[in-house]
């Protein structure tokens, strides 16, 4: 199981839905693919409801029961990058790792922010974009409150922008190409990442590119079945319709 971008500590985090998802799904190995804790949000305003504690306790219980849990920090939980190689509470913290699938294929597991030029070269702009994203989430809640009143399905501003705005589409395409190249450099057959909150499984230049999505809007996790088949699972609030998830190659990797 691969989970990324939960953003514990941010008001938009839907940790309660992830806790519910984990009650219904289990795995021998769980990869936490970055931005599980949102250090950026916690620095600006402390927000840590009971559901966030519940998720941490849920993960620790799974580790105690024998699940292998690997934490690959991202840019929002970069404070953990000083602890590569450590083991705490049954969780291993690593910079990146290669996962060998049930069919023998190898997948580089990495958050992906190091291939985001905005994060690397203009951190102030990345923080500004983070605030804009939070604002979009708040606006979504307001808009969808009224949409529910009139029986209209859920609509996501940020997901619409990612799919329709030319610069966003170009950015996502460049991100996917860069990650595919990094997987090839590691001699891997594919890459599993997070960071851009856009869940997808697709072939990219001969490399299987898989993104876990997030637990702010799409509420998706990437899972591998015993036969080596990968699938994106969506787990959403029953009051809203799930965001569309591209399943262009959700077959055996």
What confidence score (pLDDT) does residue 157 get? 56
**What's residue 174's pLDDT?**
85
Structure confidence at residue 122 (pLDDT):
41
pLDDT of residue 235: 93
Domain boundaries, the chain: 2-234
DSSP notation for the chain: -EE----BTSTT--HHHHHHHHHH---SEEEE-S-SB-HHHHHHS----HHHHHHHHHHHHHHHTT-EEEE---STTGGGGGGTT-EETTEEE-S-EEEEPTTS-EEEE---GGG-HHHHH-HHHHHHHHHHHHHHHHHHHHHHHHHHHTTPPP--HHHHHHHH-HHHHHHHHHHHHHHHHHHHHTT-SEEEE-SS---EEEEETTEEEEE---TTTT-EEEEE-TTSBEEEEE---TTSPPPP--BTT-SB-
Q: Mean pLDDT for each consecutive 10-residue tract of the chain (253 residues)?
A: 97 95 95 96 92 97 95 94 91 97 96 70 46 63 67 64 54 85 95 94 92 93 95 77 44 31
Q: What is the reported pLDDT for 115?
A: 83
pLDDT digits (tens, 9 = 90+) for 39-68: 989 998 899 999 999 999 999 999 999 999
**What is the reported pLDDT for 125?**
41
The topology (CATH level 3) of 2-234 is Purple Acid Phosphatase; chain A, domain 2 (3.60.21)
């Amino acid at each position: 199981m691969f989970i990324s971008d939960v953003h514990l500590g941010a008001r938009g985090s839907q940790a309660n839905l992830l806790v519910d998802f984990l009650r219904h799904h289990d795995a021998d190995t769980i990869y936490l693919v970055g931005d599980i804790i949102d250090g950026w949000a916690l620095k600006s305003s402390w927000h840590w409801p009971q559901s966030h504690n519940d998720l941490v306790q849920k993960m620790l219980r799974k580790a105690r029961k024998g699940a292998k849990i690997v934490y690959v920090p991202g840019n929002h939980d970069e404070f953990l990058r000083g602890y590569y190689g450590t083991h705490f509470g049954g969780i291993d913290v690593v910079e990146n790792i290669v996962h060998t699938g049930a069919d023998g294929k190898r997948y580089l597991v990495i958050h992906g922010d190091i291939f985001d030029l905005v994060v690397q070269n203009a951190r102030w702009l990345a923080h500004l974009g983070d605030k804009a994203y939070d604002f979009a989430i708040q606006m979504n809640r307001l808009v969808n409150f009224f949409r529910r009143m009139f029986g209209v399905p859920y609509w996501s501003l940020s997901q619409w922008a990612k799919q329709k705005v030319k610069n966003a589409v170009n950015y996502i395409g460049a991100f996917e190409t860069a990650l595919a190249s990094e997987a090839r450099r590691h001699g891997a057959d594919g890459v599993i990442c997070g960071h851009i909150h856009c869940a997808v499984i697709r072939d990219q230049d001969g490399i299987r590119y898989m993104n876990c999505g997030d637990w702010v809007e799409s509420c998706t996790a990437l899972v591998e079945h015993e036969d080596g088949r990968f699938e994106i699972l969506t787990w959403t609030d029953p009051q809203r319709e799930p965001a569309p998830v591209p399943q262009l190659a959700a077959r055996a990797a």
